[in-house]
Amino acid sequence: MCGIFGYIGYQHSLPLLVEGLRRLEYRGYDSTGVGLYDGNTITIHKTVGKVNDLKQVLPEQANATMGIAHTRWATHGGVTQENTHPHASADGKVLLVHNGIIENYRPLRAKLIAKGIELQSETDSEVLAHMISLEMEKGSSPQESVRKMLKRVRGTWGLCVMFLGHDMLICARNGSPLIIGQGDGEMFVSSDPHPLTSHTQRVVYLEDGDMATITRTKIKVSSRQGRSIQTNVQTLEDSWAESELGDAPHYMYKEIYEQPDALRHCITGRVDREMGTGRLGGMRLAHSTLVQAPHVRLLGCGTAAHAAEIGQMLIEKMARIPAVTHIASEYRNNDPVINPKAIYLAVSQSGETADTISAIKEIKLKGGQVFGVVNVVGSTIARLCAQGVYIHSGPEQSVASTKAFTNMVGALTIFAMQLGRSRNLSKDKGRGLIQQLQQAPHLMESYFEDIGPIDEAVDLLCDAKSVLYLGRGLSAPVAKEGALKLMELAYIPCLAYPAGEMKHGPMALLEDGSPVVVIAPSDHLKEKTLSAIHECKARGAKIILIHEKGDAIAEEGDISIPVPKIHPWLTPLLTVLPLQLMAYRTAVRLGKDVDRPRNLAKSVTVE
């Protein structure tokens, strides 16, 4: 993991590769490199660090019109220059970049060493280059050599291979996304659509098991067995335009403040105010399905799982049927029992989350129908599900998600409303909820005009050994999201718990001055949350309290941060905002890289 970009054409490839890598930076990475081929010589340039660090070791000019590039997020082997992609065969005639994990690389590596091959890295990826090279030494063509190698490996791969003496690139996909962009006399390869949009709108999505031979003018797709597959050229549905930083100090800052407009994009045209219901046309749910579904299962990882937990509670509140959120990595490994009549929702910003994709395949294999809730148009989950809803938050350049969380919650709210109106939710309640949902972006903007004593909270958080986050009901997953953000950005250990569970263990962490962040909107659980606040204060904790404006509970906080009042079911859309700002400002104060946190990736395409 993490990002691949390739080019073959008539232009000088180096600046195109560097720009492609820059557009892949948002995925997160720890090292980067390029391989160039000018028709005579293959050259490799790589470094630990960012794309700007790579620029320092690149030649000022290169005549190569073919090349491959990679941003690496370490899976096998440490963060070193030797482990950075591209990787070459011993004779230097095969060069490749790889996303994914080769599960049986150890015995394959041992066989190579037994043949006298000296491997230069600790990675599983380098093994593939040597295996291809050995097949070519036996007289096999590049295509047949790659095919024979793929038959011997187990795992996942998005692979792009370049060969000395051959005017082509070969790509292969199994569980890790690859997209080919078709230009006029040139071709591009990328891990996701974002780097392609400035070059072409014509793309070919490789599917699992596909292998593609790419020249300047042709794309030939085949199976691993060599069977020809018809090339399906599609038009990118979304411009996925480059997000400019402008005057903002960081992308995360910019994206936090873009959330009101992002939510407007998510809900516009998707609610019927007259009938008090949601209208998610992409889900194509028959009325009989809505009425007869015995339960709803939601799947996600990280921030998506937190949004799914909120969606789960809203479904139960509005539709009065059971709903359960599952961590996707656990769900697919537990041999789940699938009810074909149930509704399954797969939630993912990137649409490429490997664990969620595996869970979807497991559900479909057992007869279930899965609907995607994703941001990236044309992503693997969007294509795999074929039905679902795009959350329309626009591109997120910062690794830590903000506006995607908000829009996931927005989309799931509309789904819950649509399901609820087909069952028990009255028209009047639906209308009232829609009115409040449409008002939410304005209330978010109102909060941003007066964010409250965030900096006082930052003073407390910067000196903390650890931070406890508490919430009840809909605020419990909001607490999880707030804790995740502070951990991701500021590297401070955090624990998020339902407030009622605090006395069953987490209280042992409290000592004089310990910061405890409590989310306490004016709902039916406020009084119980107040009891948890008193228990924390009795043990010397300092309370950072997120509450609704004008609520007397503000007096209970050592630092009280008010947000505008909204319908109790929609409070996560507002209470998450100060948590995001607290995490962002704490990280900035501590000198952390808020847009590219260490060790993290935006699109987690390995299991």
Q: Are 439 and 447 in contact (CB under 8 A)?
A: no
Please give the single-letter amino acid code of residue 200: T
Tokens of 94: 């095969």
536 is catalytic: no
Please give the single-letter amino acid code of residue 578: P
Q: Tell which residue, 424, 430, 405, 421, has the closest CA to residue 285.
A: 421
Tokens of 62: 């290169």
160 is catalytic: no
E strand intervals along 224-342 = 228-229, 234-235, 271-272, 277-278, 296-300, 323-327
Q: Tell which residue, 103, 175, 95, has the closest CA to residue 130.
A: 95
Distance, in Å, from the CA atom of 374 to the CA atom of 601, rounded to the nearest integer, reads 17
Write the DSSP string, 458-509. Answer: HHHHHT-S-EEEEE-TTHHHHHHHHHHHHHHHH---EEEEEGGGGGGTGGGG
Distance, in Å, from the CA atom of 338 to the CA atom of 436, rounded to the nearest integer, reads 35
- For residue 69, what is the enclosing H or E element? strand 66-72
Q: How many other CB atoms are found less than 10 A from the CB of residue 376?
A: 26
**2, 301, 494, 536: which one is catalytic?**
2
Write the DSSP string, 25-39. Answer: GGG--SEEEEEEE-S
Q: Are 357 and 381 in contact (CB under 8 A)?
A: yes
Count of alpha carbons within 13 Å of 516, Cβ hemisphere only?
A: 34
Secondary-structure percent of the chain, ordered helix, strand, coil, rounded to 5: 40, 20, 40
Longest CA–CA separation in the chain, Å: 80
Tokens of 476: 């419990």
Distance, in Å, from the CA atom of 187 to the CA atom of 598, rounded to the nearest integer, reads 33
Q: Are 348 and 407 in contact (CB under 8 A)?
A: no
**254, 480, 526, 602: which one is catalytic?**
602
Q: Are 412 and 314 in contact (CB under 8 A)?
A: yes
- For residue 520, what is the enclosing H or E element? strand 515-520
Residues labelled catalytic: 2, 602
